[in-house]
Structure 1
Amino acid sequence: MSARPSDPFDLLQQVPLREPDPARLEADAARARAEFLDAGAQQKRGWCWPAFLRGWRLRFAIPLGTGLVAGIVMGIWLALPGAGPDVGSDVRPDGQRLADESPASPGNRLGARSGPGTEAGSAEVSARYSFDGFELLLREPPRQLVLSLAQDGQDLPFSTYVAEDGVEFRVLDAFIQPRAGQDPLLLVQSDYGGFTNWNAYEMSPGAITLSGRLSLLIHDAASREDLIARLAGPEIAP
């Protein structure tokens, strides 16, 4: 009986080794040479996809990357002031939202001037509010509350509210404030669902337009005197 070797690795010496196959070695060398030359040619042509993105991974990487970039761009765009969907910037009777300086589409914005094609003119007058030298008329066409100024034989719609079921609208006060060198202001205080609010409208010939800047300044005035004092401040200089 032969003695067992003291080191098991000595048994490796008894394992016959295969001679290298020259043809396989040549094929491996040729393949490695071709891959090396191809990689160099791609670098000369310019940027190429990283190795881990080649093949089937590229089919998933492109749409995922495009979606990620689009999401980031959309988030930045929505965060910009004035961007995003137009949800309305009107001054509601609670004074929270403010309309543009320019007239808006009737029936969609608070303080919008009624334009041609609306049903305001054909609707019956549901309420009359008499003030110094003029009246404010309230009409209620479908889903709207339309205020108009009745003065000197003219009936001029100037403000359209979105009607809400079960919410009461009332005009509390109104007066016309002249201004030196500028069009006079029509100042209207209303109550809409328990929220009291002042709005300022600029009266030009044939049109009455909501002034968002002035309405924001006076919307929570406690009285006519308080309102007039705010209008006299330096912050409303044109």
Structure 2
Amino acid sequence: MNQQARILVVDDAADNRLLLKMLLEDDYEVVEADSGEACLAQVNEQVPDLILLDITMPGLSGYEVCVQLRTQKETEHLPIIFISALVGVEQRLEGFEAGADDYLTKPVEAETLYKKITSCLQRQQSVKTAQTDASEAMRIAMEAMTTSSELGQIVQFVKNVQLITTPQAVGEAIQSIAKEFSLSTSVMVISEATHFIGCTPDSIEAKMLEQVSKSSERMVSIGIRTIIRNEHVTLLIKNMPLA
């Protein structure tokens, strides 16, 4: 991963910031902020490549900071990882709903932290490469059948569907066609059992899919994330282009 990536560590506790800086400074440029307000001020000056964000802080909470960043054009896709002592599922879901890309609990293991950061930065690079223009990406995704090549993908998908015999294959087929349009997805398929494709059963994505599958809503949008459900299939699009 690019060693020049700039990571902003946001935590009101100086020892927590120091620990994260010591873990990361050999491979990344690490800058610090001691509050939500300071975080927003720094981002306004220079947008980092990724933010490690505490939740419980005086003034603006991490949730509030994340929501504000997701409403701004310059930071709507900025990778944000919550690092918090809050370990409950509800707190994790609230973090996901606020727009975070991932959630780690304190104390953080260095190996896990590096894996999460690497994954987020790689995904961000993929988004930048595949979606240089959000409006154009939306046009491609929503008008997929306007060109012969896109029509061919749809036709091939329909052919493949006829050969599907397992719930797992249903989810994999949905992921495959979504990938053709640069969409990152997770799928939950309900038959005799519940099957997750693109995420693990204990992940935040799985919890969100389960929560929406039990609601009456057909579609739920949370920033660049969109969840679409029917009786048997619930689809999470993690990078839905914004108009």
TM-score (norm 1): 0.23
Higher fraction of strand: 1
Q: Which has the larger helix fraction?
A: 2
